[in-house]
Structure 1
């Protein structure tokens, strides 16, 4: 009995073919979706910060992952962890193997030196170890996903610019990004468009201007933003394909593969955030979740029911048949949903944005977001309510139109807050 989890800190479902994107090439994830169960409405419980341009992976062992790893180890499951960044020292005593890879994010870095490619190579090496198939095992592959700043490899950086610009518009934009003078323009004629784009992005990053570019309301920069992000997603898909190909030739009869994320991304300025709403919205919190189980009869199916990232821990505990305290009282195993069995669906997902951010709750019909209290213990003053599934991107606040719903969901957020507080007190 074996399981592989691939988890991305940041990966927007809107940029994946298996979630409906028609202009970005993600053939390996699309192929996996045809052989897995895809959850259309999975949401991250506690997303990592996306507003910090220097943010790096938070995929070290948070409390829930550490509890799972500890319980698996006690049950005799061989646990291996691969991460793009250093994990906390506390995890080392709970896993059999822990590998942290480092690489170069420079656009000109060769593919073999990119962090995610090195991560995949390390994961494949662990799968190829002789002892990997003799005992129950979990391989957890923790990636930053699309890291900020988004500097894809130079050879693919310009793969999607023609989705948004004609050649003249794009060259003018590149000139403005790199502040080319007449002499620079003359010398740049011998350089490829991809090279110029990579240089422009690197210059923005070095100058500390990338965050302003990343959140710009300018149509041109927002479109370039999307094109660059798409290029990075395609590169990730190609490298992930190496691991998926390796698993294709694995003849283990009983194994589980989960591909998921910790957060999406808000590409461009969001109107609700501009009005003061915390970034706890569907585009940021909705994450991919694909589960492949060997021998399953429901490959290529989709589930529209709500799912949350804590359900991944409950699913793994169910898969390895171990008892452990669930991350939240309502976290549930998704194995019955993968098998096509009927069971009560999750009715809501509650989210905390961390200190100073706020809270959010998502139901099949609504998303409610409340801001952080402004004065000590005072209740939050701002509330946003978005109608689902019609308002896909959380654009129109309808809190005044549904006061009873708003009040009920605020009460549910307070209940969840109290539950977490009790758990924290118990663990101290």
Structure 2
């Protein structure tokens, strides 16, 4: 009789577990966000890049060659990705949008992010580093003491960050070696640093070490988990240990294939590289559309950016190796996501705040469980807002009905039947839409050169605006835009 009672209780428990949306087969998720990571990786065809760990992951994953973020700035891009929605108002293009739309809002029946939805469906959610906008997940200013207010108040079971000698998340975000930061040095710094330090001599090395420890703890929980790991580089300043600089020969580093401002484009389409010019007072040169940096300095900056990518590649390799060591890989989804792209002198710009391809196109690599020998290339258009419904489908969780994204699972399975017709982008000066062959930019407040149209079949670097000579294509693509509802 006692045995029957125990069996009956077990059946009730498993039934309740299943009805809550949780199943024994639900995969773990390791979501790795990388700040300002354009698809400058070996697996994206840049054979001069030293990214062996990401390239190995790519050989076992689906690499999305045409992934576009919604907004070319960190906070707003992450907001769209986390909510699965396009921005609907100019306020959603600012870096503080998460604070305004999530942190300071009253709780509702709707999940604040897909991480919160996973948590509500039985996942243990752990965050390390920059997943939302703030470097450590808490709300405070660059020069303020660390607060206890979480940027995502409902999403995390555990939120951690190792600041090391930098003491605050934002000082770690702008870290220089030895515990210094752009803030403590009052911006009297160069936009790069090569220091003879170990990986842990910069904050991202500490993030990798903390993630490794956390994986051991998560395995012991005996329940599905979501681990978000947010790396800071290659965001400015382009700082990395010297061993990663030494992977490249400076004189062999290629320059931008499109260093000049494009023809026939309204100046509002460009940016003055304000983040670069205003934040690093010891920069040797200050770029503008009229005065690009010298080839020598451009090569030095690109060298620094490449070194920062190789540094992050090594940190990601450590996390994936730990998954393997703990025998977690076979039941874990791995996602590597860049929050937007970056102009490395392209169009004379050093920054991201534009509607060009360079600012909106970023890396996206997804590895599904059980696909260790099946690398795929997906050429179709995909967007960051598609990550939310994709995880819902892979984890057998019903998504909210109001998502703008669509699941990538068919593409992960090799189908092209549901490829998108267009990818949308938003910025303060206008809108953009990209289809298979063209990119259209629309600047509604401008009287001249209101549109910019680029033919990606014969002008992949967006050098010449052909809007005036192809009004029919402009009108066709304009129908795909989604202006704000103001």
TM range (shorter): 0.7 to 0.9
Does the 8 A contact of 1:385 with 1:399 survive in 2?
A: yes
Q: Does 1:80 align with 2:114?
A: no
Q: Does 1:43 align with 2:55?
A: no
2:458 is aligned to 390
2:160 is aligned to 99
Does the 8 A contact of 2:35 with 2:74 survive in 1?
A: no
Q: Which residue, 300, 319, 323 being the options, matches 1:243?
A: 319
1:162, distance to aligned residue in structure 2 (A):
3.4
Does the 8 A contact of 1:26 with 1:234 survive in 2?
A: yes
2:38 is aligned to 12
What is the alpha-carbon distance in structure 1 between the residues aligned to residue 55 and residue 426 of structure 2? 31
Q: Does 1:307 align with 2:382?
A: yes
Counterparts in 2 of 1:125-136, with a 5 A limit? 125-129=213-217, 134-136=222-224
What is the alpha-carbon distance in structure 1 between the residues aligned to residue 97 and residue 53 of structure 2? 23
Q: Deviations over 1:166-199 (max 9, x none)?
A: xxxxxxxxxxxxxxxxxxxxxxxxxxxxxxxxxx
1:362 is aligned to 434
1:237, distance to aligned residue in structure 2 (A):
0.9
Change (3 A) 1:49 1:129: closer
2:297 is aligned to 221
Residue correspondences, number: 363
Q: Deviations over 1:98-119 (max 9, x none)?
A: 1133344334354213121111
1:140, distance to aligned residue in structure 2 (A):
1.3
Does the 8 A contact of 1:386 with 1:397 survive in 2?
A: yes
1:344 is aligned to 418
Does the 8 A contact of 2:452 with 2:467 survive in 1?
A: yes
Does the 8 A contact of 1:350 with 1:359 survive in 2?
A: yes
Change (3 A) 1:59 1:267: farther
Change (3 A) 1:402 1:114: same
TM-score w.r.t. length of structure 1: 0.76
SS of 1:72's equivalent in the other structure is: helix
1:133, distance to aligned residue in structure 2 (A):
5.4
Does the 8 A contact of 1:73 with 1:79 survive in 2?
A: yes
What is the alpha-carbon distance in structure 2 between the residues aligned to residue 100 and residue 278 of structure 1? 28
What is the alpha-carbon distance in structure 2 between the residues aligned to residue 219 and residue 326 of structure 1? 50
Q: Deviations over 1:272-312 (max 9, x none)?
A: x79xx972111221111111112138711111011111111
Q: Which runs of 4+ in 1 moved over 4 A?
A: 57-65, 130-133
What is the alpha-carbon distance in structure 2 between the residues aligned to residue 410 and residue 380 of structure 1? 17
Q: Which residue, 316, 339, 342 being the options, matches 1:265?
A: 342
Q: Does 1:292 align with 2:367?
A: yes
What is the alpha-carbon distance in structure 1 between the residues aligned to residue 307 and residue 320 of structure 2? 20
Q: Which residue, 324, 330, 352 being the options, matches 2:399?
A: 324
1:159, distance to aligned residue in structure 2 (A):
3.9
What is the alpha-carbon distance in structure 2 between the residues aligned to residue 213 and residue 362 of structure 1? 27
What is the alpha-carbon distance in structure 1 between the residues aligned to residue 31 and residue 401 of structure 2? 18
SS of 2:176's equivalent in the other structure is: coil
Does the 8 A contact of 2:44 with 2:65 survive in 1?
A: yes
The structure where helix makes up a greater share of residues is 1
Task: Show structure 2 runs of 5+ residues with no match.
Answer: 1-26, 76-94, 103-109, 140-149, 164-171, 178-192, 254-277
Change (3 A) 1:410 1:145: farther
Change (3 A) 1:101 1:408: farther
Task: Show structure 1 runs of 5+ residues with no match.
Answer: 51-56, 166-203, 422-428
What is the alpha-carbon distance in structure 1 between the residues aligned to residue 359 and residue 111 of structure 2? 21
CA RMSD of the aligned region, Å? Answer: 3.2
1:145, distance to aligned residue in structure 2 (A):
3.1
1:403, distance to aligned residue in structure 2 (A):
0.7
Q: Does 1:124 align with 2:124?
A: no
1:268, distance to aligned residue in structure 2 (A):
0.9
What is the alpha-carbon distance in structure 1 between the residues aligned to residue 152 and residue 119 of structure 2? 12
1:131, distance to aligned residue in structure 2 (A):
5.0
Change (3 A) 1:296 1:208: same
1:211, distance to aligned residue in structure 2 (A):
7.5
Does the 8 A contact of 1:65 with 1:313 survive in 2?
A: no
TM-score w.r.t. length of structure 2: 0.67
